[in-house]
Amino acid sequence: SDIPLREVSSVPFAYIEETRGGLTQTFSVPYEVWVLNISVTADKKPQYAMFRMVLCDAKGNILDGAEIQYPGTMYKVVGTSGTGMYMIISTDSVDSFRISMETPLRIYEKDRPAT
């Protein structure tokens, strides 16, 4: 897990909440700094729980990854923006997981579209 950003508050702008792994659709993030806040729940067989995630760019290059054995959480700071990305997610004996994509409030306010 990475060291959390020294921000007072962050803004979630997207999330994935699932019980099974798979391949996400291609997405792009406009923020220069953002994080993956990952939480894994495994009540039925916690001793066997395994969560793996790989973040790739649209060309298939690995940008980052995460592995959580047993229930738990992980925090990953990502510095890639403005390019197509996707995730490959694998689960074993996991009841559910949530990946929240968040950016610091100061960056969100600077980069959000004018209304």
pLDDT in the model for residue 109: 84
Tokens of residue 48, six digits: 């066997």
pLDDT in the model for residue 5: 63
pLDDT in the model for residue 13: 94
pLDDT in the model for residue 105: 86
Residue tagged 């020294």 (tokens): 6
Whole-angstrom distance, CA of residue 40 vs CA of residue 20? 11
Q: What is the pLDDT along the chain (115 residues), one digit of tens a residue?
A: 555 666 668 899 999 999 999 999 999 999 988 999 999 999 999 999 999 999 999 999 999 999 999 999 999 999 898 899 999 999 999 999 999 999 988 888 886 666 5
Whole-angstrom distance, CA of residue 100 vs CA of residue 36? 6
pLDDT in the model for residue 63: 94
Whole-angstrom distance, CA of residue 91 vs CA of residue 89? 7
